[in-house]
Chain A
Amino acid sequence: MKRYLLPIAALLLAIAACQRDHITVYDADNYVHFARRFVDSSSFSFVSYPTDNEYNYPVVVSLIGKAANRDRAYNVDVIDNYTTAPAANYALPATFAIKANAVADTFYVKLVKTPDLQSGSIRLALRVSGSDELLVGETERTVFVLWYTDRITRPSWWDSTMESAFLGRYSDSKYRLFIQVTGVGDMTGMEYYDKRYYTLIFKNWLREQAAAGHTVYEDDNFTVMSVALIGG
């Protein structure tokens, strides 16, 4: 009998080990936070939208948890002591919610352009807060910072080649006019054809202005505004 004892014990242990293990699903609290970390502030410029006085800027929040079959509310507030934007320069939606069956939400902050934006940037800081159904997520994603302006600055794509072969010497006035005439504010990564194309559109517009007796000058009111591209 003793010699059967060990095998029997081993068999019993083996049987005991073969139990079905249920796979658990997330069953804890649900959290919400901004998709973007606080340290990665966002920026926006009305320069690329010269004819718009308002802009709906998208802000994304993410869900940590399970999607639900109903809308779940969360809250977003302005951090007053970290916001320099006057109240007249922005508007938030009335309500916020992670929609049913969604794991993220996008809400839009309406940015309003006023003349003072041409002289500098203003900052809007938002904080997400939870609700009965959604708790606040990661600390570094609970705050969203947006800088916006209407001040024009030389873009990085207006490099030495752009200066020598296409649009010529940079000036704020020329850049603003270029955007107005062509509708293009960013030539980053454009192919040669497109750079030439938009430069010629601008060049033709300058010619037309001069032919109509409205020669365009630089800010010194003496230098005729021109481009570097000669052919065409």
Chain B
Amino acid sequence: MKNIACILAACLAAGCYEDKGHYDYVEINEVTIGGLPSQTTITLVDTARFFPELTFANPADTAGFTFLWRENSHDISTELNLAYVPTYINNNITLELYVKDRHGIAYRATTSVRVDSPYKYGFALLAEKEGKTAFHFLGRSNETGRYTPYLDMFAADPLGAGPLALATSTVNSLDEIIIFQQSGSLSLNGQNLERAVLLSDEFSGGAYPAGVNIISGYYNMGVDALLGDDGNLYVRVNPVSGVLHATYFMNMPHYFARPGTRVGRIIPTHPYTFSLWTHDEGNNRLLAITSETYPGNNNIATMGAELTINEGAAPAGFTSVNNMGADRLVYAADHRALNTQNITNLRNILKKTDGSYEVQSFTVSRSGLNLTMSAWIQQPFAGNGLVTDNTPYALRSDGKYIFFAVGGKLYSVEFRVINGIEQQFLQEVHDFGTDITLLTRADNSIDPDVGGEALGVALATGKFCIIMVTDPVLLDPTNAWQNGKVFESAANLGRIVSVLWKYGGSNSRFTNDSW
């Protein structure tokens, strides 16, 4: 009984304890961090800029907040807005933003930056300088759209001699540039533009076919074709996707049924045409083979097969592409509408026997091993009287403009359909004051909002210029150079032989970005 009483007394005493703790309640001003993109893509020469937007639970009390940006556990800035300058190439750099209030409560948000090589996108220039092959690259900044020149990249370790042409091979986010030259062709790694593979090693046995020099080529992803100086194509069918150099080129000529076939040029067309086009100068005709992106089980036997061009009910006066007769093919290029497949649109410039020039346009759609032609148009070219046999041309990717050069003058011909009839409108774009030797488009799909792309212009003085040939620029020809000029090099690049737009990978080859 005594014990129970003691216990009860102790419990009662405990209930009288005074709580002497200190509790200062404060209102938490919660912060929401917005305005950060999930990913930003820049090149190594760019700056990524971030402008976070903070939303406070109590907007009247925004004092006392501190900011901290971190990259890989390193503090990089204590400002809210960040100008991030990358120092390395990486597909996924995570940047963290911490917003901390005066009580020490921190709020966190992240954003990702992909840093591409400065060589990822841009113009590759092949030139001859002091008897040697020279290579220059104009890297395009994602941030500013400007070009950074990397000139004479192999001056200390020459590539070779006798430059001929450029090509590019693309697989997903990988690519290479192939340099064709008399002294032996090779490819450059697309990330760092270092030597990658000798073209001779791409043949079984490590050598070109006997007695043949490879002078150009086109890599169409499913089927790659090299052109020999013997007028033959040497083809490889890529058996798998996602891999460069997956297999060898055949060291035997690609067979074509018509006797006398001699390929004079390869006509680059977009991979989504699923066909690879050439001009057979032996028979003066267009010649195409299949080229799906990659073979599946149901087309492995037909990859590279010759396609039959069914010209259908072409109108009178339309030069047959299966037999061009006395007409001479001066220029051929493709254009495409967005998101089309198995469709090829070509614009050709033909020289007639009377010395005049005509422009021929048509569409072919592919089904199996057959190409069916439609939308035939052939008419005198608006550049008649100006163009010659040596005129350089370039077709804008949407086919709306064809550019050509006479001397130092750059002209455009706009194709515009009025009342169902395609008409041509000629205008002078700019006088560069010195002979233009090459024109090259930044070959890509057209963004309908921008309507146009960059045009590369090579001059006889060894200078290279880039002008945006967008609709707004071309509609104001008087000020086209002023409004459209993007880049102008010094006149020391050598004799420019070939210019190529570098996609940076097949992913961007199929996007709608305009250059």
Q: Which residues of A contact B (CB under 8 A)?
A: 161, 164-166, 191-193, 196-197, 200-201, 203-204, 207, 228-232
Contact = CB atoms under 8 A, between A and B. Distances in A.
Nearest to A196: B237
**Secondary structure class of chain B's binding surface, majority of residues:** loop
Contacts, number: 52
A164 B250 contact: no
Given A197-B204, A230-B301, A192 B255 contact: no
B305 A231 contact: yes
Given A204-B252, A231-B290, A166 B301 contact: yes
A230 B204 contact: no
Given A204-B255, A232-B235, A193 B304 contact: no
Nearest to A193: B247
Contacts of A200: 250, 252, 255
Contacts of B305: 230-232
Contacts of B223: 231
B255 A232 contact: yes
A229 B248 contact: no
Interface residues of B, number: 23
Contacts of B300: 161, 165
**8 closest pairs, A vs B, by CB?**
A231-B304, A231-B305, A192-B239, A230-B305, A193-B247, A165-B300, A165-B301, A230-B302
B254 interface: yes
Contacts of B306: 231
Interface string B297-317: 100111111100000000000
A202 B19 CA distance: 99
Interface of B: 204, 223, 235-237, 239, 247-248, 250, 252, 254-255, 289-290, 297, 300-306, 369
A193 B235 CA distance: 11
B510 to A, nearest CB: 24
A231 B237 contact: yes
B238 to A, nearest CB: 9
A231 B247 contact: no
Contacts of B254: 232
B304 A232 contact: yes
Contacts of A165: 297, 300-301
B258 to A, nearest CB: 13
B236 to A, nearest CB: 8
B250 A197 contact: yes
Contacts of A207: 255
A197 B254 CA distance: 11
B250 A232 contact: yes
17 contacts: A192-B247, A193-B204, A196-B237, A196-B250, A197-B204, A197-B250, A200-B252, A200-B255, A204-B255, A228-B301, A231-B223, A231-B303, A231-B306, A232-B235, A232-B250, A232-B255, A232-B304
